Amino acid sequence: MRIALIQMNSRVASRDENVERACGFIREAAREKADIVVLPEFFNNEYFPQYRDSRYMDYAEAEDGPTQSRMKEEARRHGIYLVSTIFEIARPGLYYDTAMLINPAGEIAGKYRKVHPAALLSLEKIYFRGGSTFPVFRLNEWTIGFSTCYDNLFPESCRCLALNGAELIVALPGLAA
């Protein structure tokens, strides 16, 4: 399996521009025959949880919002798996930091919601709640799991993934504050 990990600095309040930049990196990874492309946490916006401002709640998107719709299209176009993390609104008043596994058909094959919202040099806990599980997903012949940013600091995250059957754990990069 060929994995492409994308790290990019997202620009302030330029969601569409950030998404287009990510699509360029996805195309490059697909040309290099990547089977799965992993985008960083909140790639579509700047790392907003370092500030206290209610206007950032407007960054939240549903799984069928503009960012994930574009990512589904890219996965389908290139026939790849794609891991795309957004500030998700699950329903009014319920927000998560969610990594979604998008399959080559452009469908969401699974979700992992960051379990430990960061509290060190960050205000993530005022923007979203933590998830409660470390799911694993079947990707061809592999069983994989994800751990995002602050979750990577807790050995229990990887232990839970391993106990759930993960043969490969992808540590999703966070954005530098």
pLDDT in tens, 70-95: 999 999 999 999 999 999 999 999 99
| Cα distance between residue 16 and residue 158, in whole Å | 33
Assessment of whether the complete model's pTM goes beyond 0.85: yes
pLDDT in tens, 4-21: 999 888 876 689 999 999
Could you read off the pLDDT of 117-129 as tens digits, one per residue?
A: 887 778 999 999 9
Catalytic residue among 41, 61, 88, 124: 41
| Whether residue 176 has pLDDT greater than 60 | no
Single-letter amino acid code for the residue at 79: G
Instruction: Confirm if 109 and 130 have CB atoms less than 8 A apart.
Output: no
How sure is the predictor about 47, in pLDDT bands with cuts at 50, 70 and 90?
Answer: confident
Question: Which pLDDT does position 19 carry in this prediction?
Answer: 96
Of these residues, 63, 72, 74, 114, which one is catalytic? 114
The answer to whether residues 170 and 151 touch, using CB atoms and an 8 Å cutoff, is no
111 as an active site residue: the answer is no
Decide if pLDDT at 152 tops 80: yes
- Please state, for a pLDDT cut of 90, what percent of the chain lies above it: 80
Two tokens, residue 25: 């990196």
Is 41 labeled as catalytic in the residue annotation?
yes
The pLDDT value given to residue 60: 96
Q: Which helix or strand (DSSP H or E) is residue 24 part of?
A: helix 15-31
Q: Which long-range contacts (CB under 8 A, 24 or more apart) does 54-58 make?
A: 56/127, 57/95, 57/127
> Which of 72, 124, 149, 160 is flagged as catalytic?
149
Active-site annotation holds for 125: no
Q: For residue 164, how many other CB atoms are within 10 A of its CB?
A: 13
Integer Cα distance of 112 and 97 in angstroms: 9
